[in-house]
Amino acid sequence: MNIDKYIKDIFKYKEFTLNKQDEKKIKNKGLNSFIFDKLLSTKFRRKKIIESEKENILRKIDKFILNNEPIKITPCFGGYKQRWVNDFPGVGWAEIFHISFMLKYVSHISKIYNKGVVIEWESEDIILEYANNYSKRDLDRYAEEFRNLLKIFLEEIPKNIKLKLIRSREQYDVDILLDKINKIKVEKENELRLLDEDELKKTISKAKRNFILNDKDFKILSEKEENEYSIKAKAINLAFLDADYELREKYFEEDVIPVVFSFGIDKENVGGWLTLSSTSSSFCDFWAGMGILEIREDGRIIDRILSKQQYEKIKDYLKKIEVQLIKKDIPKSIFIYNGKLDI
């Protein structure tokens, strides 16, 4: 397949086709049950979902339909770009692949339910300023570019699908949030220091990937100092999760169906929220990864999102190519990998 054609097709909406089996399911089990089954499809879902969350999702679907409202799905994500990615601080192909994937995920709702669906990405970028040394300017740029991408996709999709981005800072008073965090961050830090050595090392390593060390007051640090900053940053992030949920509990538990990504397989996902992949071929969080195209020998093209670790393994084999300009706000080039990735 031609690469330019593949990229053009990413922006084309692929309508869900209702077959006789689907019609039979809707007739026998009801519209709400059919939507429920599609939202839990293993084509998109990464992890087995616990019974209590199944009940929550079905309850919300019932409520949306009873109230004649669209089905409201909220992907929860960081709302920033990790600094190692070439797109930093803005969006790139990883975000484009992910949005296209999410539209496939909800296409059945648009087809069978007149009120359609709202996908409202929920950005938790506010904490990056305080815990990870990201600038507000860079976070604002990411949010602006993400919203611009949504506008591009909105041009091609049915009117009963709405795409939105909401930032946590837009939902509550930030000072109240920070006050709650300050009251519990030391407790979270102490809990981290009680982890066994191997678990603490893993926690520090993961925290470092989200922390900007080569800026502001963090230009020259010893390994010990880096580790200390990483522990404190992780503690603040954990405190944020508790404080943020307290402030937005009704939003998550009553107003929307929250979905998560790699966070879903973490022990911190205590509510067992629905866990999806970022794309059909990648579980790496789209905001933390780099989007590339894998060009197979048989001519197939696979969109991939690489983690930093995966990127380091194949970076010398990546080739940058120019792409035909489709929309003014999309990247003008993309990296490709010739062959089948085994990472």
Mean of all residue pLDDT scores within the chain: 91
Position 217 pLDDT exceeds 80: no
In terms of phi and psi (left: phi > 0; alpha: psi -120 to 50; beta: otherwise), the region of 211 is beta
Question: For residue 22, which amino acid is it?
Answer: D
CA distances 125 to 49, 133, 165, 178, Å, are: 26, 11, 12, 13
Lowest mean pLDDT among 108-122, 289-303, 324-338: 324-338
Count CB atoms within 10 A of the CB of residue 292. Answer: 27
- What is the reported pLDDT for 175? 95
Residue 343 lies in a domain: no
- What is the reported pLDDT for 1? 61
What are the b/e assignments for 208-220, b being 16+ CB within 10 Å?
eebbbbeeeeeee
- What is the reported pLDDT for 88? 94
Rounded Cα distance between 97 and 95, Å, is 6
Q: Using pLDDT thresholds of 50, 70 and 90, give the confidence band for residue 212.
A: confident
Position 241 pLDDT exceeds 70: yes
Residue 230, judged by CB atoms within 10 A of its CB (0-12, 13-18, 19+), counts as buried
Question: For residue 258, which amino acid is it?
Answer: P
Range of the domain at 103: 3-338
Residue 332 lies in a domain: yes
Q: Using pLDDT thresholds of 50, 70 and 90, give the confidence band for residue 44.
A: very high
Q: Using pLDDT thresholds of 50, 70 and 90, give the confidence band for residue 132.
A: confident
* Span between the terminal Cα atoms of the chain, in Å: 23
CA atoms within 13 A on the CB side of 104: 19
Question: pLDDT per residue over 137-146, tens digit each?
Answer: 999 999 999 9
Position 147 pLDDT exceeds 60: yes
Rg of the chain over Cα atoms, rounded to whole angstroms, equals: 21
- What is the reported pLDDT for 17? 85
Mean pLDDT of 21-39: 93
Residue 202 lies in a domain: yes
Task: Read off the DSSP letter of residue 86.
Answer: T
Residue 203 lies in a domain: yes
Mean pLDDT of 273-280: 94
- What is the reported pLDDT for 80? 95
Count CB atoms within 10 A of the CB of residue 38. Answer: 19
Residue 269 lies in a domain: yes
Contact 287, 121 (CB under 8 A): no
Number of domains in the chain: 1
Q: Give Cα 322 distance to the centre of its chain.
A: 26
- What is the reported pLDDT for 219? 53
CA distances 112 to 35, 116, 261, Å, are: 9, 8, 26
Position 209 pLDDT exceeds 80: no
Contact 149, 91 (CB under 8 A): yes
- What is the reported pLDDT for 208? 79
- What is the reported pLDDT for 211? 73
